[in-house]
Amino acid sequence: MSHRLRPVLLALVLLLPVLLGPLARPVEAVTGVRVVVNCFSNPETARVTNKTAGTITTRTVGSIYQPYSYEPITVNRSLGPGSSSTFQSERAAAGANKLTGNYIYNDSVGTAEGARVTTSLGNSADRCS
């Protein structure tokens, strides 16, 4: 390998995680559970989908980046095979899946923020984009 090419390759290797970081959204994933967060919607949403053949329990939902003291929020909701639940936060949130009337996702920190969900199968998460 040419001595001139070596610094260029080193720079590319060091920059690759920075360049691809926004593409690497999921931070945790349990087989059979999908989490999709929308940090910019009003209300904010975290949708949990059960992709297994059995019933699972969504136990908690919370943010990843500097969570508030009341997070994660306990929900304890059963989710049948193939079904989804959308949990809402912020003042416009309403209904049985309202987590809180406050914002919980910090949308100014990009992919450092997201939703972390604990289910009966384990933890899954999605990052803000």
- Kindly indicate the confidence band of residue 2, based on its pLDDT and cuts at 50, 70 and 90: low
Task: Let me know if residue 34 belongs to a domain.
Answer: yes
- Residue 111 inside a domain? The answer is yes
Exposure string over 114-127, b if 16+ CB within 10 A, otherwise e: bbbbbbbeebbbbb
What's the pLDDT score for residue 23? 47
Rounded to two decimals, what is the model's pTM?
Answer: 0.79
Question: 105 in a domain, yes or no?
Answer: yes
Tell whether 9 is covered by a domain.
no
**pLDDT score, position 24:** 47
Residue 43 phi/psi, 5-degree rounding, is -80, 165
How would you list the strands of the sheet with 114-119, edge to edge? 73-79, 56-63, 114-119, 122-127
How far, in Å, CA of 38 to CA of 80, rounded? Answer: 23
What are 79-115's pLDDT values in tens digits? 999 999 999 999 999 999 999 999 999 989 999 999 9
What is the Cα Rg of the chain in Å? 18
CATH number of the domain enclosing 86? 2.60.40
Is the residue at 70 inside a domain? yes
Domain-located, residue 90: yes
- Number of domains composing the chain: 1
- In this structure, is residue 15 part of a structural domain? no
- Is the four-CA dihedral 94, 96, 100, 106 of positive or negative sign? negative
- SS3 of 51, please? coil
Residue range(s) defining the domain that contains residue 95: 25-127
pLDDT tens digits for 12-48?
Answer: 555 545 554 444 444 678 999 999 999 999 999 999 9
Number of residues assigned to the chain = 129
Instruction: Say which range, 1-5, 32-36, 92-96, 122-126, has the weakest mean pLDDT.
Output: 1-5
